[in-house]
């Protein structure tokens, strides 16, 4: 009778691990602004936001960039705030002018 009980525990643990893997691990936010600086070597850009503030974003090899990042470009950025408090761009879309 121990084998069925053990199998149930293993299945329950596997199901909860699978559910945790599917749960979103980070909340995303979206912002639109105008690029003021781009530092490709550091994978960093800064935006002037409509409320008058400035925000910095980093990107990595998984970031989807639609268009060319350049000063003066209007962009929409979907991002997440990392554990280090820095903004990581997940997707950047450059508006067509």
Four-point Cα dihedral 92, 95, 46, 51, nearest 10 = -110
User: Domain map of the chain by residue range?
Assistant: 28-94
pLDDT digits (tens, 9 = 90+) for 14-67: 444 433 333 344 599 999 999 999 999 999 999 999 999 999 999 999 999 999
CATH tag, 28-94 = 2.40.50.320
When pLDDT is cut at 50, 70 and 90, the band that residue 85 belongs to is: very high
**Is the predicted pLDDT of residue 5 greater than 70, yes or no?**
no
């Amino acid at each position: 009778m121990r084998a069925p009980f053990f199998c149930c525990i293993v299945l329950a643990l596997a199901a909860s691990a699978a559910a945790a893997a599917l749960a979103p691990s980070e909340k995303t936010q979206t912002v639109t602004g105008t690029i003021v600086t781009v530092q490709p070597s550091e994978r960093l850009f800064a935006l002037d936001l409509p409320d008058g503030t400035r925000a910095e974003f980093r990107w990595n090899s998984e970031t989807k960039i639609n268009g060319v990042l350049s000063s003066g470009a209007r962009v929409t950025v979907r991002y997440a705030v990392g554990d280090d408090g820095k903004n990581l761009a997940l997707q950047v879309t450059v508006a067509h002018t």
